[in-house]
Structure 1
Amino acid sequence: MPEGGITLPSPVPPAMRPGRAGFALAALAGGLAGGLLAGLLVWLLVHGDSSTPASNPGAQETPVPAITRLEVTSAISAAAARGRESVVRIESFRRVAGGLQRDVGSGVVMDQQGHIVTNAHVVMGTESLKVVLPDGTERQALLLAHDYPFTDVAVLQVSPGGLTPIEPGDSDALVPGDTVLAIGETLSEFQGSVTVGIVSGVKRVRYYDGVVHRDFIQTDAAVNHGNSGGALVNLKGQLVGMPTSVIRLTETGQEVEGVAFALPADRVMDIAARIVAAGGPITRPSIGFEHIDLMPETLARLPRLALDEGALVASVPAGGVAAGAGIRAGDIVTMLGDRAITRQNPLLNVLQEYEPGEVAKVVLNRGGLIIETEVRLAKRQ
C-alpha cells in the first residue's frame, strides 16, 4: 500500500475498456472505421495521458504526498497538545552575591497528588521554587528529593488536584528514525514550546556528572536552555524521555547542531517512583571523600600524575569514613572491591552497586606506593 494509506487502482488498459461511446459515434459517422477513430478520440479526451500503458497493466499511480503530510502533521499536533497539558514551568531562586537569582526550567506532572519530576540540576541549591501550570496557575513547590549525581532526576511536591499527569511510554521501544517532540520552557521565555525531530540513536554512552550512562536517547529535536526537565514524547503524546543535555561544541571548539540527549523515561519514572515511595532521597552509599575522575579533559588541567585512570581524591572531611580508613587527598583510587576504576567504569558507577553499611576494599596509589584499605560505606546525605 502506498504511503498515506490509500491505494489508487490502476486504469483498465484501453483494450479492455467498454466502447459504448465509440459505437454511438460510429452510427453517426456511418462507418465502422470512423466509429473506431471517433471512439479513440473520445477516450483520449476523457482520460488524457493519465492511463497506464497497455504494456504495463499492473503499474500503480504515484501516491499523493499531500495526504501523508496531512496525516503526519495531524499526529504531531495531537501529540503536542496532549503532551503540553502535562509539562510545567519551574521557576527557581538561588542566593547569589547581591540577592536572589532567578532561573527557569521545565517539569512533568507525574500524578494528581502533586508530584512533578524534573532534572536535579534544575532545582538543586535553590532557596525557593515555583511551578507554573499550562493554564498559568502558579503553585509553590517543595523539593521532595533528588538522586544527583547518580541520576539527574528530582521530584517536587505541589498542592494536589487540577493536574494532568503524563502518560508514560515505552522508551525501550524507540528506534532510530522515530518521530519525537521536545516540550519545555525554551530559553526560559517561551512556555510550552514544541520542537520536532527524530530519534538519532538509542543506548548512547555518555559520561555525565561523574557517571557513565549507557542508555541515553539521542535526538535532533531542538533543545535549549529551559528545556531541561521537560518532556520528550512520541506521536501518541507519551513520555519517552527527559531532555537533559546538549552538545554545543566539539572538544576542538567546532559548533555542533542537532545533538541533544534525554534520559529514558523508563529510568526517570522508576527513580521518581522510588523517591515518592520513600518520601525522600533514595538510599545511596557514600565513600566519604570528594574526587576527580581521571578523564582526558581533567588530566589536561591537572599536574602530571603517576596514573591516567582512576579517581583522584580531592578532599577528605575529618571524622568521616574515608579519613578513618586512612585515605588522604592526592591518593588515586584504582579499585573498589574487585572492580577496577577506569574511564568506562568510574568510581560512582562502581559505588552505586553497594549499600550503605557495607564494607568495601579500596586500593590506592599514593605516589607510586600501592595501599589497600577498607571503608565501611556511609549513607549519602
Structure 2
Amino acid sequence: MGRGMSTGPGEPGTTGTVWRPPAEPVLQPGASEPPPDPPAPSPPTKGGGWSGALLLGIGGLVVGAVIGGIAGALVAAGIDDEPGGADSTASATGTPVELEVTTALTSAARKALPAVVRVESATRRSLDVGSGVVISAEGYIVTNAHVVMGTDQLKVVFADGSERPAVLIGHDYPFNDIAVLQVAPVGLSVIEVGDSAELEPGETVLAIGNPLGELYGSVTVGVVSGLNRSRVLDGVRHDDIIQTDAAINSGNSGGALVNLAGQFVGMPTTILRQSNGGQTVEGVAFAIPSRRVMEIANQIIAGRGPISRPSLQLDHLDLNDEVAARLPALPTSTGAVVLTIVQGGVAAQAGIRAGDVIMRVGDTAVDAQTPLLNALAKHQPGETVKVVLNRNGRIIETEVRLAKRS
C-alpha cells in the first residue's frame, strides 16, 4: 500500500480498518529536517476507502487550481494591449515563465500601417481627404476614384508624417471605383497583397484608414460578414463585394482591409446607413476585393491611363420598382430612362432622345439585374451595337457606334 495508508514505523501492522498518521522521522543531531513526502493515495480498501477518495478529491482540487491559475495567466497575457511587450508569471515550482503578449491583431496592424496613406485632393473650392494603399516600390498607390476625380492638386501624407505630391495615373470610374496614383519611389513601405478569394465568413479583418479625414492611421476590427454580395455602386452591379462590420466612416474610402497576416484583401468603399424602407442600419460596410482592385490597377499602370470603356454619351437613370413608382408617366418600369443627351454625341446622332427608355444594348436586356453600364461593359469603343428603345410605348431600334469614355 502507499504511504498514506500505512502505519508509522515501529508499530504493528493494522487490519486496514484504522488509519494513523505517519510518525515523524527521527533526526540525527545537526541534521536538517527533510521535506515531507507528498501523500500518494492507494486504491480504497474496506473500511478505509472514504479516506482515499477524500485525498484524491483534495489532490484534484489542488491540481485544478494550479492549472486554472496558469491558464488564467495565459489568457491575461493574450489580451494585454501593450504591443511587443512581455509578461512573466510563476510556474508551480516558482520558475518564471515568459509569455509573449503581442497579439495577431497588433502584428497585422503594425505590418500594414506604414503602407496606408492619407490622400488629399484639393480644388479651388474644397479639400477632399481619403485614404490610399502603397502597392508597389515604384510608387504606385491605389485609392477610390471618387476621392481623386476632378482634382487640381494631389498630395499624399505617409505614416511618418512626410508628404509628397502625387499624380493621377488613371481611374476606371464609374465601372470600378478604383484609381491609381504615383509618388516618388523612394523609401516606400509596400503592403503585402493577399488573395481575397481565400476569405471566409467570420474571419477577422482590420480596416485601416483616415476616418473623418483627420484621425490618421485609425484601426478598427471586425469580421467578414459576407462574401460575393451583389451591390449596385455608381450605376454598376458588382457581384463580388465583401461585407464587413469593421467600423468604416467617411475618410476610410480607398484604405485597406487586411487579414490577420497583415495582407491587403480589400478596399473599403461604402457604408450602408439606411435601408430602402428607411430603417437605420449599423455595422454594414462594403469593400472591393483585392483581386479586382489589383486587376484594375495593373491595367491602369500598364496603359498609363484610364481603361478604355464604351460610352453612349448620355446621362441616364436605371429603373426599378421604386424609381418607376416616382415616375408614373414612363411607359415601362424596366430599362434605363435617358435624362440628357450630349449634343452632337453618338446617341444624338443615332436619334436617341431624352425621355426614351433603353431596353436592350446588343444582345443584353437592360433591367434591374443588369444596369445599362453593365450592358455597355460587354462592348468596346468604336463597336457598332443595336440599341432598342421604348418611346412612349413604341418600340424603336437604332444602331450606335459607341464612343470612348472621356
TM-score, normalization by structure 2: 0.81
Give, in angstroms, the shift of residue 144 of structure 1. 1.1
Q: Deviations over 1:188-211 (max 9, x none)?
A: 111111011000100000111101
Q: Does residue 91 of the first structure (1) align with residue 120 of the second (2)?
A: yes
The change in CA–CA distance for 1:346 and 1:39 in structure 2 (over 3 A counts) is closer
The one-letter amino acid of 1:86's match is A
State how 1:253-272 maps to structure 2 within 5 Å: 253-272=278-297
Identify the match of residue 47 of structure 1 among 60, 66, 69. 60
The change in CA–CA distance for 1:65 and 1:271 in structure 2 (over 3 A counts) is farther
Give, in whole Å, the separation in 2 of the partners of 1:345 and 1:91.
34
Identify the match of residue 105 of structure 2 among 58, 64, 76. 76
Give, in angstroms, the shift of residue 28 of structure 1. 7.5
Larger mean Cα displacement after TM superposition, 109-118 or 291-300: 291-300
Q: Does residue 206 of the first structure (1) align with residue 235 of the second (2)?
A: no
Give, in whole Å, the separation in 2 of the partners of 1:49 and 1:238.
45
The one-letter amino acid of 1:365's match is N
The change in CA–CA distance for 1:300 and 1:126 in structure 2 (over 3 A counts) is farther
Q: Does residue 21 of the first structure (1) align with residue 3 of the second (2)?
A: yes
Give, in whole Å, the separation in 1 of the partners of 2:234 and 2:323.
13
The change in CA–CA distance for 1:375 and 1:26 in structure 2 (over 3 A counts) is farther
Q: Does residue 163 of the first structure (1) align with residue 184 of the second (2)?
A: no
Give, in whole Å, the separation in 2 of the partners of 1:314 and 1:192.
41
CA contact (8 A) 1:25 1:39 kept: no
Give, in whole Å, the separation in 1 of the partners of 2:76 and 2:404.
54
Give, in whole Å, the separation in 2 of the partners of 1:48 and 1:83.
46
User: In the alignment, what sits opposite 1:190?
Assistant: 215
Identify the match of residue 252 of structure 2 among 198, 204, 227. 227
The one-letter amino acid of 2:385's match is A
CA contact (8 A) 2:5 2:19 kept: no
Give, in whole Å, the separation in 2 of the partners of 1:318 and 1:136.
47
* Residue-pair matches, total: 351
Identify the match of residue 34 of structure 1 among 15, 19, 25. 19
Identity %: 55
The one-letter amino acid of 1:88's match is V
The change in CA–CA distance for 1:321 and 1:144 in structure 2 (over 3 A counts) is same
| Higher CA-based Rg | 2
Identify the match of residue 305 of structure 2 among 280, 291, 303. 280
The change in CA–CA distance for 1:304 and 1:49 in structure 2 (over 3 A counts) is farther
State how 1:369-380 maps to structure 2 within 5 Å: 369-380=394-405
Q: Deviations over 1:169-217 (max 9, x none)?
A: 1101111111110000012111111011000100000111101110100
Give, in whole Å, the separation in 2 of the partners of 1:295 and 1:200.
27
User: In the alignment, what sits opposite 2:329?
Assistant: 304
**SS in structure 1 of the partner of residue 193 of structure 2:** coil
Give, in whole Å, the separation in 2 of the partners of 1:211 and 1:235.
31
Larger mean Cα displacement after TM superposition, 285-294 or 107-116: 285-294
User: In the alignment, what sits opposite 2:85?
Assistant: none
Identify the match of residue 315 of structure 2 among 290, 298, 305. 290
User: Which ranges of 4 or more aligned residues in structure 1 deviate by more than 6 Å?
Assistant: none
Identify the match of residue 364 of structure 1 among 362, 367, 389. 389
CA contact (8 A) 1:21 1:39 kept: no
CA contact (8 A) 2:204 2:221 kept: yes
Q: Deviations over 1:326-346 (max 9, x none)?
A: 111111100001111001001
Larger mean Cα displacement after TM superposition, 292-301 or 275-284: 292-301
The change in CA–CA distance for 1:75 and 1:375 in structure 2 (over 3 A counts) is same
Higher relative contact order (CA 8 A, sep 6+): 1
Q: Deviations over 1:18-63 (max 9, x none)?
A: x643256554875344167576665554433767xxxxxxxx99x9
Q: Does residue 252 of the first structure (1) align with residue 287 of the second (2)?
A: no
CA contact (8 A) 1:92 1:123 kept: yes
Give, in angstroms, the shift of residue 356 of structure 1. 1.0
Give, in whole Å, the separation in 1 of the partners of 2:134 and 2:197.
21
Give, in whole Å, the separation in 2 of the partners of 1:359 and 1:188.
44
Give, in whole Å, the separation in 1 of the partners of 2:11 and 2:210.
76
Give, in whole Å, the separation in 2 of the partners of 1:277 and 1:66.
53
TM-score, normalization by structure 1: 0.86
Task: Name the Cα RMSD after superposition.
Answer: 2.5
Larger mean Cα displacement after TM superposition, 236-245 or 41-50: 41-50
Q: Deviations over 1:119-168 (max 9, x none)?
A: 01111122111100111110111111110000000011111111111111
The one-letter amino acid of 1:34's match is W
State how 1:118-197 maps to structure 2 within 5 Å: 118-197=143-222
